[in-house]
Amino acid sequence: MFKNKSLKFLITISQRGKYRLGTAALLIFFSSICSLGPYYITYLIIDNIINPLFIMGDLLALGGIAALFIIGQMIFSGIAMTQSHIAAYDILFDLRVALTQKLSRLPLGYYSSTSSGTIKKIMMGNIEDIEEFVAHNLVDLISVVFLPVIIFLWLASFSLSLAILSILPVLVGVGLQRFRMKLEAGNIQKFFKIKSDMNTTIIDFIRGMPVIKAFNLSVFSFKKYREEADRYSQYWIDMNKKAAAFFATYALLMDCGVLVLLPAGGYMYATGRIALSTFLMFLFIGIGLTRFMKQLTSFGSNLTQIFKGVDELRTVLEAAEIDNNGSITILKNYDLDFKHVSFGYGRNLVLGDVSFRLKQGTITALVGPSGAGKTTVARLIPRFWDITQGEIILGGHKLKDIQGDVLMKHVSFVFQDIFMFNDTVIENIRMGDTSISEEKVIEIAQQAQADEFIQKLGNGYHTVIGTTGVHLSGGEQQRIAIARALAKNSPVIVLDEATSYADTENEDKIQKALNELLKDKTVIVIAHRLSTIQNANQILYIEKGKIMEQGSHQQLINEGGSYKRMWDLHMDAAHWGIKQATESKNRRKEGIAC
């Protein structure tokens, strides 16, 4: 029915509040009729005054009727706005829930290509724009479209020529506006893109504030932020300069109706073709007609921005999901096999023909230079992405044949970058699983070497942490993350450099926590500290998306390949600190002796 998919989407989502919106539209129509009442009453009053036989009582009665029209307009409008806003916020609630559910089902690859600033803008700004459409534009559309027609027909019943003259400048103005919108469609789309880029950069700027302050940089030292803000500002200025003539002409046409009606109506009155009251009525109601046409034009301009936001929203809601409806719910074992797996982000191939096996209860470590594909291998296990070629088999079944919930139940992740929810410690550990008692959480925290520091917090396990709560150190956060994995108790564990933020004391505690976590589990570890994975059952050296070396620590050392060179560099780095400290101390002693 609708050529514009965004308009069709808006009409579809408005179905939930159709009764409230229908009521609101009807009431707004009545309100608009009432708003015209005083103009018509004014016409009648003037008609009575110029009549030598007028009766004062009639004028008072007409004044009372005009007051009733004004009161009716206020009542109808107030009830209509209440109904439309209730419907709008119900629809916005449904949209945000639907968007949140959709975001939870999208693969991680979506978040790699879409910035958090864009998602925030869609979740907040774009959906708020829809409130403007549902609560105001959709309801006003009835009166804005039909009332000008009714007014024109009513005026035409007095004088067709004056009725045409009253609406002619408005029609020319609307046509000019539509021409400008078509002419600048590409510029408007580019403007929205620049605005979106600036919003994204602002998010990055806020996140980078600790670094900016640490290095004593000013706002203008953040080059990308400054460039995006300047680009947005300059493009907005250029757009308005180009459109200035259009805007001025449009404003003149929309407000010059009275300039057309005054001489034409005056001439017709002077020649006796219309009465004085009719002439004055055209002047009053002609202005009212212009008001409705301005609303219609403004409605069209607002829709351009709303449609852009809806297009972005639809892009998310219609984004491809990974099919998690596999039929397998029970796994035979927890062996994990990669068979000739290839994977790429778009056309960029990240992994090529990767094959290896993880036996149940063993530990496999992934090492290699940055960007080699280690994290990608690990994140393919819980199907954060679907592979391009090959097969990944868990417990004798292809990953895509295993139900999504079942797969996620069997795989736990301990990320390098840990997110703490703005909630209590206990809720951050059990992650919504209310079946885990507080006593069990404490037991798990003890296993994760976290109980000691948690007990020292202000309210213990009920202390709020996260963005507005108590700040935890990197090592403390990692022990909370390990406690989460212990609480989940999955048979397959993926560790992404779990000791990355640890000092010597914390690293020892984290290693003890990991020993508890990894008992009898199938484990894959991404490691940069090679000393932590010497006892792994197998080590995979990955470079440029391929497994270049595979074996135990000692086997790879004996082979003398890339892993051996990396190990030597690691050991040199470890000894470098001790050596440098000793030499520095000796130099200070020599200086004193001098």
- Quickly state the pLDDT bin for 501 (edges 50, 70, 90): low
- The pLDDT of residue 547: 92
Instruction: Tell the burial category of 86 from Cβ atoms under 10 Å away from its Cβ (0-12, 13-18, 19+).
Output: middle
CB contact at 8 A, 399 and 334:
no
Considering the domain boundaries, does residue 33 fall inside one? yes
Nearest to 545 by CA among 398, 302, 325, 369: 369
Read off the pLDDT of each residue in 339-346 and give the average, rounded to a whole number.
Answer: 87
* Most confident residue range from 222-226, 304-308, 395-399: 395-399
- Longest distance between any two alpha carbons in the chain, whole Å: 124
Domain shared by 235 and 290, yes or no: yes
Check whether residue 359 and residue 244 sit in a common domain.
no
Q: State the CB neighbour count (10 A cutoff) for residue 269.
A: 17
CATH at residue 341? 3.40.50.300
Q: Is residue 327 part of a domain?
A: no
Which of 317, 349, 384 delimits the end of a domain? 317
- The larger pLDDT score, comparing residue 523 to residue 506, is at 523
Per the domain annotation, does 328 fall within a domain?
A: no
Q: pTM for the whole thing? A: 0.66
Q: Where are the alpha helices (DSSP H) in 367-473?
A: 374-380, 404-410, 425-430, 438-447, 451-455
Establish if 325 belongs to a structural domain: no
Report d(CA 316, CA 314) in Å as an integer. Answer: 5
- 490-512 average pLDDT score: 70
Report H helices in 50-184.
56-105, 108-113, 116-121, 127-132, 138-156, 160-183
Residue 43: CB atoms within 10 A of its CB come to 21
CB-based contacts of 414: which residues, under 8 Å, 6+ apart?
478, 481, 482, 484, 485, 493, 494, 495, 496, 498, 517
Does pLDDT of 117 surpass 80?
Answer: no
Most confident of the ranges 110-114, 246-250, 391-395: 391-395
Q: What is the mean pLDDT of residues 328-346?
A: 87
- Bridge partner residues of 354 (DSSP): 341
User: Which helix H or strand E contains 295, and what residues bound it?
Assistant: helix 276-317
Q: Write down the residue that tokens 């700027």 correspond to.
A: 205
State the pLDDT at residue 215. 59
Say how many C-beta atoms besides its own lie within 10 A of residue 67's C-beta.
13
CATH of the domain at 104: 1.20.1560.10
pLDDT of residue 594: 34
Q: Which residue has the higher pLDDT, 445 or 292?
A: 445
Task: Tell me what pLDDT residue 591 has.
Answer: 39
* Pairwise pLDDT comparison (527 vs 459), residue with the higher score: 459
Count Cβ neighbours within 10 Å for each residue of 317-330 and write b for 16 or more, e otherwise.
beeeebeeebebee
pLDDT at 518: 76
> Does one domain contain both 349 and 417?
yes
Q: How many whole angstroms separate alpha carbon 93 and alpha carbon 99?
A: 10
Examine residue 221 and state whether it is found in any structural domain, yes or no: yes
* Region 324-328 average pLDDT: 79
Predicted confidence (pLDDT) per residue in 535-558, tens digit? 889 999 999 999 999 999 999 999
Tokens at 212, concatenated: 């900016």
Question: What single string gives the DSSP state of each residue in 452-490?
Answer: HHHHTSTTGGG-EESSSSB---HHHHHHHHHHHHHHHT-
Tens of pLDDT along 432-473? Answer: 888 999 999 999 998 888 898 999 988 999 999 887 778 888
Rounded to whole angstroms, the Cα distance separating 436 from 440 reads 6
330 inside domain: no
Please report whether residue 223 resides in a domain. Answer: yes
Tens-place pLDDT, residues 59-89: 788 889 999 999 999 999 999 999 999 999 9
> Do residue 352 and residue 456 come from a single domain?
yes
Are 164 and 197 found together in one domain? yes
Between 69 and 58, where is the model more confident? Answer: 69
418 & 437 share domain:
yes
* Residues 296, 366 share a domain: no
pLDDT bucket at 312, cuts 50 / 70 / 90: confident
User: Region 404-418: what's the mean pLDDT?
Assistant: 84
* 323 located within any domain: no
Instruction: Give 563-572 pLDDT, tens digit per residue.
Output: 999 888 878 7
Question: Encoding tokens for residue 123?
Answer: 């979740």
Mean pLDDT, the chain, rounded, equals: 81
Q: Do 525 and 567 lie in a common domain?
A: no
Burial of 392 (C-beta count, 10 Å sphere; 0-12/13-18/19+): buried
In the sheet with 492-496, reading across from the earlier edge strand, the strands are 411-414, 492-496, 522-526, 363-367, 538-543, 546-551
How does residue 506 score in pLDDT terms, banded at 50, 70 and 90? low
- 226 and 292 both lie in a single domain: yes
Task: Clarify whether residues 290 and 349 are in a common domain.
Answer: no
Q: Judge contact between 491 and 409, C-beta under 8 A.
A: no
* Statement to judge: residues 56 and 94 lie in one domain: yes
Report how many domains make up the chain: 3
Domain identity same for 419 and 291: no
pLDDT > 70: percent of the chain: 85
- 236-268 tens-digit pLDDT: 888 878 777 777 777 777 777 777 888 888 888
More confident residue, 324 or 554: 554
By residue range, what is the domain housing residue 393?
Answer: 336-557
Q: Quick check: 529 pLDDT over 80? A: no
Tell me: pLDDT of 170 over 70. yes
